[in-house]
Amino acid sequence: MTGHYLDNSATTSPSEAAKAAMIAAAEIWGNPSSTHKPGMDAKALLKDCRASIAKALGLPRHTQDKVIFTSCGTESNNIALLGCARAKKRDRDNPGTVIISAGEHPSIENPALLLEKEGYTLVRVPTAKGVLDLEYLKNALEEAKERKSPVIFAGFMLVNNETGALYDVKGASSLVKKYFPDAVVHCDAVQGFLKVKFTPASLGVDTLSISAHKIHSVRGAAALYISSETVKRKNIVPVMPGGGQEEGYRSGTENLISIAAFSAAAESGRVNFEANREAVVVLREYLDRELQKLDVKINLPEGDRLPWICSIILPGIKSETMLNHLSARGVYVSAGSACSAYSKKKSGALEAFGIDPSDADSVIRISLSYTNTTEDIDALIDGLADGIASLQRKR
């Protein structure tokens, strides 16, 4: 692709390793559930891929924890949340409480809304200025205890896809477990995988989602981690009945081509973790310096953050107008997140961050990868400078 792609939180370009693995896997076309030779070959490849993903997640070699392949991060999040709600017989009048952080991705927010309609109490923990409010969470847990409405599920994303804020998932999971040891604590780590060092155990979570196309692989594969304890306690059940693939958690013949690419991308992401991170840190420092020359404001989280994502507010110019201006110059960024742009809804994450509603239409998200160069940033800065001057004049 020619041009300057700075929308890596929406999706990433597949790496050479991912593409090679995909092509090799196309030759291993058997169904992993078949017991003949082509099927066994496919099964063996699937097993290797699962081991690579487990390794990239930092799981011990002989773990009883599960890595379940799904088709996308959205599916992984839905299986965790809806699969947890359906796992036990619930009291119709008081099924329980679901806690999520404010500004979660729609793949958590929307199934949570579905459960709220079914009678669950939904609590959103504020994330003003990109900081997960643990004091609020503590009070919410105490209230749930008083109301005798047990917390069945608590979901906290690791990295916010619009602001790059890194949440204290460990602190949140410890609190939830202290009050409700049986709750399923979930982490949407789609934007954090291979960018920040973690294991499901270090975050203290029971389930965790990751997605291939955010780590320089192709779309069509993702994974849901499920701890052995969650399996043992039957705290998650399948939400899509079918042939029982992926130990029943996700029926449907596995997309081995995408899974092979996913595992190759995860393997190189694991091996090159430090180098990739360092490259992005350097690029981000350069980006921040250059942005200071322009009339824009950076939505900088007050707590921990990842350098990959940079959210800025333009001076009174609509994001879409600037996006088109940049796109015409071969510079590709996004307005808030791609998903919220698609549904034309105001971004819940930016609202939760506390951005002034009048600024919400003027936000641009720049998201980096180790594949970017300072030339990409120069092209962006030139495009922004030119756009700010000409588009402001037109207003």
Quick check: 189 and 198 in contact, CB under 8 A?
yes
- Min dist CB 211 to ligand PLP, Å, is 3
- Min dist CB 209 to ligand PLP, Å, is 7
Is 84 among the residues known to form the active site? no
Query: Closer to ligand PLP at the Cβ: 73 or 130?
Result: 73
- Min dist CB 160 to ligand PLP, Å, is 7
Q: Cα Rg for the chain, rounded, in angstroms?
A: 21
- Min dist CB 316 to ligand PLP, Å, is 28
Element (H, E) at 142: helix 134-146
Measure Cα distances from 318 to 66, 293, 383 in Å: 45, 20, 15
Options 49, 72, 84, 339, the catalytic residue: 339
C-alpha–C-alpha distance, residues 192 and 157, integer Å: 9
Query: Closer to ligand PLP at the Cβ: 73 or 200?
Result: 73
For residue 312, list its beta bridge partners. Answer: 298, 364
* Residue least distant from ligand PLP (Cβ): 73
Query: Closer to ligand PLP at the Cβ: 105 or 325?
Result: 105
> Using CB under 6 A as the criterion, which residues of the chain lie in contact with ligand PLP when the complex forms?
72-74, 105, 107, 157, 161, 188, 190-191, 211, 213, 222, 339
Element (H, E) at 331: strand 331-332
Going by C-alpha positions, the residue among 151, 153, 149 that lies closest to residue 80 is: 153
Identify the three-state secondary structure at position 192: coil
- Min dist CB 277 to ligand PLP, Å, is 19
Ranges of beta strands (E only) in 60-183 are: 66-70, 97-101, 121-125, 151-157
Quick check: 72 and 222 in contact, CB under 8 A?
yes
Going by C-alpha positions, the residue among 320, 112, 105 that lies closest to residue 214 is: 105
Query: Closer to ligand PLP at the Cβ: 9 or 97?
Result: 9
Catalytic residue set = 339
